[in-house]
Amino acid sequence: MAEHREFFYRRLHSFLGVVPIGIFLVQHLTVNHFAVYGEESFNKAAGFMGGLPFVLLLEIFVIYLPILFHAILGVYIVFTARNNTGRYGFFRNWMYILQRITGIVTLIFIAWHVFETRVQIGLGNAEANYSLMEGILTNPIMFWFYLIGVVSTVFHFANGLWSFLVTWGLTQSPRSQRISTYFCLVVFFVVSYLGVRTLIQFAYGV
């Protein structure tokens, strides 16, 4: 019974990490990347997203609750699952460790980012526009905090995508897992570029 429960939790955890959290991450960084094309482009994109019907409900049920569930399930799995790292090679063992480290960093980063942006906007202390992020990221300490946070979050997603493919039985053979490793590596670099390039734009205007 315990094994079935663990199996269910692992599947749910991996599913939430990709759908909807991973999809939202890519969408969020893509919209933010409009900043590269100028303040007006970013404000239009942010305004469009903020003006979606039932945006608060979408944020709660598509973003915040899945992230909360994913974080809680992640902690549960770390402390209750049997350690299977001996089954994998040196590279995958390191990915296993980094996945857990980046999970903690990502949780801290997301909590702060939401407080600094969405909460402040909700309280009427800020507006969802270019100036908000520019004001945050021109502080060198916050720039590096966001840089580490974004890269950590993207790594956690990309490596979690590899685990998702294995957990859901989509990549079972060594060859398919090797191919998915290269694919997830490309995802990591492409999505990281979107995020980091946007941060540089906000911080330095280039």
What is residue 1's predicted lDDT score, i.e. its pLDDT? 61
The confidence band for 64, taking pLDDT boundaries of 50, 70 and 90, is very high
* Backbone angles phi and psi of 168, in degrees to 5: -90, 10
d(CA 191, CA 33): 10
Quote the number of domains for the chain: 1
Angle at the Cα of 43 (from 38 to 45), degrees rounded to 5? 100
- Closest by alpha carbon to 202, among 152, 157, 118, 146? 146
pLDDT digits (tens, 9 = 90+) for 117-173: 999 999 999 999 999 999 999 999 999 999 999 999 999 999 999 999 999 999 999
Q: What is the mean pLDDT of the chain?
A: 93
Cis peptide before 174 (omega within 30 of 0): no
Q: What CATH number should be reported for the domain holding residue 118?
A: 1.20.1300.10
Give me 88's structure tokens.
């994998």
Asked if residue 107 lies in contact with residue 149, where contact means CB atoms within 8 angstroms, the answer is no
Supply the DSSP string of 63-115, one letter for each residue: IIHHHHHHHHHHHHHHHHS---GGGS-HHHHHHHHHHHHHHHHHHHHHHHHHI
Containing domain of residue 139, as a range? 2-204
pTM of the model: 0.94
